[in-house]
Structure 1
Amino acid sequence: MEFATLLAIALAGALASPLGGALALCRRPTTLALSIAVGFAAGALLGAFAFEMLPRAAQMASLPIAVAGFTGGFAFLYALDLFVQRGASAGDKASQRDWVRSIRRRRRPRGDEVTVLAGGTSAEEIIEGLTIGVSAATDASVGIVVGMAIVIDNFSEALSIGELIREKDGERPARRILGWTGLIGAALFAAAMAGWFLLRHLSQDLLGLLLAGGAGAMFYLTTTELVPEAESHQFQQSSAIAAAAGLLVIFSLSHLSAR
């Protein structure tokens, strides 16, 4: 892949976050719009690592290396999540919820709800940016498909962050929305450049390991944040319909780019 193409993908992904934040600031999205946007992003990401990233990682390295890389990327995001939550996390309907609340009274999460979400997303953008760079270094078509899925993801995540900040900050949330979404975009761009310049000369086995690791980390993000967020706003299962559409778009792009 030419550097100019990578630069365009990285810029699109970086700008998607502040643009989504600005849209959330100018026009508050409806719950239906949020369910569709976030659901579509979840489906697109699922398609990216199911149809492009994992198959390509296994082809470049081997099946055991791809499995190990996916496991490592998943475990890294899981550890980051527990670090932010100070080792205690449970769903609203979990029987362990009372235990988690007792832990939270003694050890509060590292930041408020907005900081936890936006800060965690910024850290995840580093992984997604590296994934764009590594994908571009391995195969042009993989880089384009993965990059497009991340652009969609960043835009929808920015809408969710903007809505959450509106709920917490009242009538003047502009500075915080644009600050967080700008940081998220900058983290992605810097990581994509680092992935291209620092990692593209690695061996095929290491590139395959890193590509699978990015898939594992993004899978964790999709299943723990995007899918629940989309479903919590759904109407007539709008999130599931949007997720199916996002997955089919990436599936179609994957097959078209392979020709």
Structure 2
Amino acid sequence: MDFALLFGIALAGALASPIGGALSLLRKPTTLALSLSVGFAAGALLGAFAFEMLPKAVELASLARAVLGFVLGFAFLYALDLFVHRGASAGDKAQQRDWVRSVQRRRKQRGDEVTVLAGGTSAEELVEGLTIGVSAATDPSLGLIVGLAIVIDNVSESLSIGHLVHEQGGEHPTRRILGWTSLIGLALFLSAMAGWFFLRDLPKETLGLLLASGAGAMFYLTTTQLVPEAESHQFQQSAAVAAGTGLLVIFTLSNVAAR
């Protein structure tokens, strides 16, 4: 893959975030629209790392390195998640929920709900951007498929941020939505460029490890944020239908690209 094509992929992923934010400003997303968009993004990401990233990581490195890389990427985002949530988190129906709330009350919060969500997403975009750069360096078709999945993901995440800002109310909603979504897009673009320029000449075993790390990080993001968010807004299991559709789209593209 030449640099012009990578630049186009990274730019599309970066612009997807403020475009999603702008769409949420034009019209507040309905719960059904959120369920469909976030569910589709979850399925697309699942397909990208299951059908493309992990198999390519094993091919470049080895099964053991791929497993290690996945664990490292997963652990990194897990640690980031705990940092953002002050070291404690639990689901609404968890028996530990009261303890988590008491811990969070005792510790100074890192911002309101929008800041926590958008700030955490910006940090995750650094990982996704590097993943685009590494994917493009290993295989052009892989870079295209991973980039497409992340474009879809960024639009859905920006719609979620816009919906949350609308729900919370307050001053300057336009500035908050476009400011955060632009930061998210910039983080993705810069990290994709860094992945291409600084990582592409690494040994193939190292690239395989990094690719698997990106898969682990994306898996954590999908299962802890996208799937629960989509399901919380579902109507007639719209989230499951959208996720299945997203996965089949990436599965089809993966097989077409392999021919």
TM-score normalised per structure 2:
0.99
Aligned-partner residue type, residue 189 of structure 1: F
Residue matched to 2:58: 58
Task: Find the counterpart in structure 1 of residue 226 from structure 2.
Answer: 226
Post-superposition offset of 1:172: 4.0
1:93-172 matched pairs, under 5 angstroms: 93-170=93-170, 172=172
Distance 2:128 2:45 in 1: 11
- Unaligned runs of 5+ residues in structure 1 are none
2:131 maps to amino acid:
T
* Amino acid in the other structure paired with 2:10: A
Q: Deviations over 1:136-190 (max 9, x none)?
A: 0000010000000000000000000011011113474000000000000000000
Q: 3-state SS of the aligned residue for 2:29? A: coil
Question: Helix, strand or coil: the match of 2:94?
Answer: coil
CA distance in 2, matches of 1:230, 1:140: 31
- Report % sequence identity: 76
Letter of the 1:41 counterpart:
A
Q: How far, CA to CA, are the matches of 2:57 and 2:65 in structure 1?
A: 8
Corresponding position of 1:173: 173
How far apart are residue 129 of structure 1 and its match? 0.3
Q: Which residue of 1 aligns with 2:85?
A: 85
The residue number in structure 2 matching 1:206 is 206
Q: Could you list the runs of 5+ residues in structure 2 that have no partner in the other structure?
A: none
Partner of residue 217, structure 1: 217
Look up the match of 2:8: 8
**How many corresponding residue pairs?**
259
Query: Does 2:39 align with 1:39?
Result: yes
Residue number in structure 1 paired with 2:248: 248
Shift of 1:107: 0.8
Instruction: Give the ranges of 4+ consecutive aligned residues of structure 1 lying more than 4 Å apart after TM superposition.
Output: none
CA displacement at 1:2 relative to structure 2 = 1.1
Distance 2:169 2:195 in 1: 36
Cα distance in 2 for partners of 1:85, 1:34 equals: 23
**What are the Cα deviations for residues 101-154 of structure 1, in whole angstroms up to 9, with x where unaligned?**
111110133211111110000000000000000000000010000000000000
Q: Which residue of 1 aligns with 2:27?
A: 27
Give the superposed CA RMSD: 0.8
CA deviation vs aligned residue, 1:37-81 (integer Å, no higher than 9, x gap)? 000000000000000000000000000000000000000000000
Report the residue type matching 1:158 in the other structure. Answer: S
Q: Once the 2 structures are TM-superposed, how far is the Cα of residue 236 of structure 1 from its aligned partner?
A: 0.1
- TM-score, normalised to structure 1, is 0.99
Q: Offset at 1:86? A: 1.1
Paired letter, 1:86: R
Once structures 1 and 2 are overlaid, which stretch shifts more, 105-114 or 90-99? 105-114
* Partner-residue secondary structure (3-state), 1:88: coil
